[in-house]
């Protein structure tokens, strides 16, 4: 399941992010890649743990906590602190799959990566190329969203970033461990929750159809969630 979420950040917030990120120091992104990914990764990243990355990442996390569509789709248990990358001058990231387990920064605690997220911080017209291509059961989906918009996709997916031939693609990226590990179960819960939300303003709060659907949702969540 690939889901686009509009306006996680407002345009004003994006402008503020970009002012600070564009003036920051960028390091070779290959330094943080795994053994196989290192050979296909050509981009730049803001240093993990830097004051700027931590502050901007915490702002993103606060916005996500107030974004119902993200909560519904991800059912987050743990979110890896957001990172920031930049692709320019032919920068690209070849086909790869994200690591299944990651240590949280500064901790011995591991998290499972169920979902990957890219939050775009550059408008599509600012750069050529730079599409996020995600392979799924129905073929390859190319994603290039507006600044402030975010895409969620399964971390199990083979994916890549095509070469940027003009301008710069700036983004934040991170991973989510969901309360519901199974992608099929998580998709069913998301579809059911979206149906309930669409139905809610159309019927009375005590309408039995709405109450029954809500009960089914929570009972399935109770069955499948692993806190």
Residue 207 assigned as binding residue: no
Q: Is there a binding annotation on residue 218?
A: no
Tokens read off for 131: 């599409």
91 close to 164: Cβ distance less than 8 angstroms: yes
Distance between CA atoms of residues 9 and 81, nearest Å: 16
Give CA–CA dist 88/95, Å, rounded: 18
To the nearest 10°, report the CA torsion of 11, 165, 115, 8: 0
Per the CB < 8 A criterion, the answer to whether 69 and 5 are in contact is yes
Find out whether 96 is annotated in a ligand binding site.
yes
C-alpha span between 128 and 89 (Å, rounded): 10
Q: How many CA atoms lie within 13 A of 73 on its CB side?
A: 19
Residue length, the chain?
227
Residue 98 annotated as lining a ligand binding site: yes
How far is residue 221's CA from residue 62's CA, in Å, rounded to a whole number? 24
Q: Return d(Cα 145, Cα 40) in angstroms, integer.
A: 23
Q: Is residue 203 a contact partner of residue 210, using CB atoms and an 8 Å limit?
A: yes
* Residues tagged in the binding site annotation: 96, 98, 159, 169
* Residues tagged in the binding site annotation for 2-oxoglutarate: 169
* Residues tagged in the binding site annotation for Fe cation: 96, 98, 159
């Amino acid at each position: 399941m690939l889901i686009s979420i509009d306006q996680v950040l407002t345009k004003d917030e994006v402008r503020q992010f970009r002012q600070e990120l564009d003036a920051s120091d960028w390091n070779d992104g290959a330094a943080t890649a795994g053994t196989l990914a290192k050979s296909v990764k050509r981009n730049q990243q803001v240093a993990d743990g830097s004051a700027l990355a931590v502050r901007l990442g915490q702002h993103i996390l606060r916005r996500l906590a107030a974004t119902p569509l993200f909560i519904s789709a991800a059912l987050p248990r743990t979110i890896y602190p957001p990172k920031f990358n930049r692709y320019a001058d032919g920068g690209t990231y070849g086909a790869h799959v994200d690591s299944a387990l990651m240590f949280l920064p500064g901790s011995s605690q591991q998290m499972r990566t169920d979902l990957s997220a890219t939050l775009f911080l550059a408008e599509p017209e600012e750069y050529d190329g730079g599409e996020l291509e995600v392979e799924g059961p129905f073929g390859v989906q190319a994603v290039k969203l507006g600044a402030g918009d975010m895409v969620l996709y399964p971390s199990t997916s083979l994916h890549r970033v095509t070469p940027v031939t003009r301008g710069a693609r700036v983004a934040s990226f991170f991973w989510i461990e969901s309360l519901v590990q199974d992608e099929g179960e998580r998709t069913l819960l998301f579809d059911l929750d979206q149906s309930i939300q669409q139905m809610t303003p159309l019927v009375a709060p005590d309408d039995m159809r709405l109450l029954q659907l809500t009960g089914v949702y929570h009972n399935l969540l109770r069955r499948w969630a692993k806190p």
